[in-house]
């Protein structure tokens, strides 16, 4: 056989041998990757998940198909089970508030500490810092997921059906729905409220029937889910907590994708969270006016009143800082302090 024919035959053989490898790599991608979100696409949080899934699908030409499951339906509405379910292979993609996962990974409760990030300037400084992009992200990686990008869930405000809340003692005796967070429970109990942990699905009929007096959530949710129709007549805009919105992929899934697709997916997450932050800030700028237009009484505390709220939260803040990760939170505090001087 001539040398040219030998080379031609060898090249053909190599192609045949390589072809099944290429097919195998393509077939390793699943037809669908399940993403859990607590809320639907009518809200900025759920819309972020939708945008992320669409960006990934379009930019990978359908190789990666991420399907959104709102209402934490993959875990029967129990959002505090999402991270554990991801470890079990039930969920592939997370687009959620880390406070919901703090029972699984304690550092996920760090961002929800009361008044840690008192305004958007402090918030932006923290989430863009190495304390988040390196230290916190490394914790998430070691816990079983690849963190991609950070958005915003929005400052949490207080609503109730009984009276205007201007100072901590006004909360005394009110039954307030909270997410399943011992930290939130301690904060509310410390001010005399009766905190009750329940899913949002259970909270809505409880408020409508009067079994629960109030709740705390971003005002975008108050507006989007028409919480005023559940008897909630009073809102206090106290900005006590603003959790991040984290997009993350289960480690086995992330590692199954090519480096090129990993880059595409990460960039899609960054773009989706940028749009999420824009939407959340847009709602925040208009929320008082929008809620008052519904006939709801909105209290915006004065600086002196805000100081009372902050003082009331100092003890639970200190206790939970020590319990969550004092080193990590100390770094957050340093970033916030620098942002006040900038």
Per-residue pLDDT of 214-265, as tens digits, reads: 999 999 999 999 999 999 999 999 999 999 999 999 999 999 999 999 999 9
Sheet arrangement for strand 145-152: 66-69, 33-36, 93-96, 244-250, 145-152
How many percent of the chain have pLDDT more than 90? 85
Sign, CA torsion 249/251/253/255: positive
Tokens of 122: 């402090």
Residue that is written with structure tokens 């993350």 in the block: 248
Residues 6+ apart with CB under 8 A from 326: none
Residues 6+ apart with CB under 8 A from 207: 161, 177, 213, 214, 215, 227, 230, 231, 232
3-state secondary structure of 244: strand
Which residue ranges in the chain fall short of pLDDT 70? 1-27
pLDDT at 338: 95
Distance (Å, rounded) from C-alpha 50 to C-alpha 292? 30
DSSP E strands in the chain: the ranges are 33-36, 66-69, 93-96, 145-152, 156-160, 175-178, 194-197, 214-218, 234-236, 244-250, 297-299
Distance (Å, rounded) from C-alpha 124 to C-alpha 28? 38
pLDDT at 27: 55
Integer distance in angstroms from the first to the last C-alpha of the chain?
Answer: 77
Distance (Å, rounded) from C-alpha 164 to C-alpha 234? 6
53 and 66 in contact (C-beta within 8 Å)? Answer: yes
Pick from 169, 195, 199, 173: nearest CA to 184? 195
Q: What burial class does residue 22 get, using C-beta atoms within 10 Å of its C-beta: 0-12 exposed, 13-18 middle, 19+ buried? A: exposed
Residue that is written with structure tokens 């109030």 in the block: 214
Pick from 292, 44, 46: nearest CA to 155? 44
- 8-state DSSP, 43: S
Pick from 187, 222, 214, 218: nearest CA to 198? 214
| pTM summary value | 0.88
Q: Residue 185: which H helix or E strand, with range?
A: helix 182-190
Q: Residue 321: which H helix or E strand, with range?
A: helix 314-324
276 and 220 in contact (C-beta within 8 Å)? Answer: no
Sign, CA torsion 314/227/175/235: positive
250 and 197 in contact (C-beta within 8 Å)? Answer: no
Sign, CA torsion 228/214/307/325: negative
Distance (Å, rounded) from C-alpha 30 to C-alpha 329? 38
Domains of the chain: 30-152+244-284 (3.40.190.170), 156-241+286-341 (3.40.190.170)
95 and 148 in contact (C-beta within 8 Å)? Answer: no
């Amino acid at each position: 056989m001539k040398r040219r024919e030998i080379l031609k035959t060898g090249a053909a053989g190599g192609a045949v041998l390589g072809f099944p490898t290429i097919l195998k790599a393509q077939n390793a991608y699943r037809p669908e990757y399940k993403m859990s979100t607590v809320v639907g696409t009518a809200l900025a949080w759920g819309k972020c998940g939708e945008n992320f899934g669409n960006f990934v699908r379009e930019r990978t030409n359908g190789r990666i198909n991420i399907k959104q499951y709102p209402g934490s339906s993959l875990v029967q509405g129990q959002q505090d089970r999402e991270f554990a379910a991801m470890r079990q292979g039930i969920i592939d993609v997370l687009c959620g508030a880390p406070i919901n996962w703090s029972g699984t990974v304690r550092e996920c409760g760090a961002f929800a500490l009361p008044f840690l990030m008192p305004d958007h300037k402090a918030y932006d400084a923290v989430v863009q810092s190495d304390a988040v992009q390196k230290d916190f992200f490394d914790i998430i990686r070691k816990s079983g997921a690849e963190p991609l990008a950070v958005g915003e869930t929005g400052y949490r405000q207080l609503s109730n059906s009984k009276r205007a809340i201007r100072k901590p003692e006004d909360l005394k005796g009110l039954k307030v729905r909270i997410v399943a967070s011992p930290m939130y429970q301690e904060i509310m109990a410390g001010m005399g409220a009766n905190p009750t942990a329940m899913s949002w699905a259970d909270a809505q009929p409880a408020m409508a029937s009067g079994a629960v007096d109030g709740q705390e959530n971003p005002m975008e949710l108050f507006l989007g889910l028409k919480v005023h129709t559940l008897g909630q007549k009073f809102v206090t805009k106290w900005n006590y907590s603003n959790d991040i919105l984290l997009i993350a992929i289960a480690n086995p899934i992330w590692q199954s994708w090519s480096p090129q697709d990993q880059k595409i997916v990460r960039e899609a997450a960054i773009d989706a969270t940028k749009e999420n932050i824009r939407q959340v800030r847009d709602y925040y700028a208009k929320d008082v006016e929008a809620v008052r237009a519904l006939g709801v009484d909105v209290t915006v505390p004065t600086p002196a009143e805000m100081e009372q709220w902050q003082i009331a939260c100092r003890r639970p803040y200190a206790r939970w800082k020590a319990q969550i990760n004092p080193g990590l939170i100390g770094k957050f505090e340093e970033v916030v302090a620098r942002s006040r001087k900038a």
